[in-house]
Amino acid sequence: MLTATLLTLSLTVTGVTAATDLTDPHKKDIAMRLVSSAENSSLDWKAQYGYIEDIEDERGYTAGIIGFCSGTGDMLELVELYAERKPGNVLAEYLPALRKVNGTDSHKGLDPNFTKDWKTAAKDSVFQRAQNDERDRVYFNPAVRQAKKDGLRALGQFVYYDAMVMHGPGSDKLSFGGIRKTALAKAKPPAQGGNEVTYLNAFLDARKAAMKAEEAHEDTSRVDTMQRVFLKNGNLDLEPPLKWKVYGDSYTIKS
């Protein structure tokens, strides 16, 4: 049986290193910075725990490191987790209101102090960890797991993750599951014998169509001038240096 050292050497020789996986800590941090550039126009994703606003996408308030929404249930689940880990926290009083507005864009029971209290909670390390954990449970882990099943490397894993973040993990045509289904009708992923670049182009085509179907997401630059750029460059392992644009703004990750 190979020792851990020999196994690492063996994987390196075959070209399958830990760095090709988005769960590698450094690669994961790169993924967070890429998403933050699109969601918050900043590479400092850790500064976004306190972000909160209504971006008028019919999902109510959007907040935190991954855009938890009061209208889609993930914000409710986050605040429930926070209350479980720290009873009586500053957001716990909003749980009844969050349950009522779930599925709508209403602020009823949240205004006028919810945004202020969210920013207060964001300074609490318990709340920060809760955001990290819910991001991983709902979005990051499922996206990477499915990407691995499809035989995709780090770029493909990120492409899935970013789609999961914006569109949600559902199965309708505008959610991640529907986008993937549309892509599969056009091309096979590597796990089914297909070409990785061809499949990812099909997925990005389907993603772009889904974005254009929603007014709040009609700017497709995070696909056109970020993900498609990496793909055209053949950077399937998402290795820095990385240069891209989102909404016309330029970003660089050197290492």
162 is catalytic: no
- Rounded Cα–Cα distance for residues 198 and 168 (Å): 24
**Paired residues of 251 in beta bridges:** 244
Asked if residues 28 and 20 have their Cβ atoms less than 8 Å apart, the reply is no
User: Using CB atoms within 10 A of its CB, is residue 105 exposed (0-12), middle (13-18) or buried (19+)?
Assistant: middle
Q: Which of 39, 74, 150, 162 is catalytic?
A: 39
Asked if residues 167 and 140 have their Cβ atoms less than 8 Å apart, the reply is no
Strand pairing category for 242-246 and 249-253: antiparallel
Q: Which of 21, 24, 54, 57 is catalytic?
A: 57
- Rounded Cα–Cα distance for residues 207 and 163 (Å): 7
- Rounded Cα–Cα distance for residues 219 and 129 (Å): 31
* Non-local CB neighbours of 218 within 8 Å, separated by 6+ positions: 211, 212
39 is catalytic: yes
**Active site residue ranges:** 39, 57
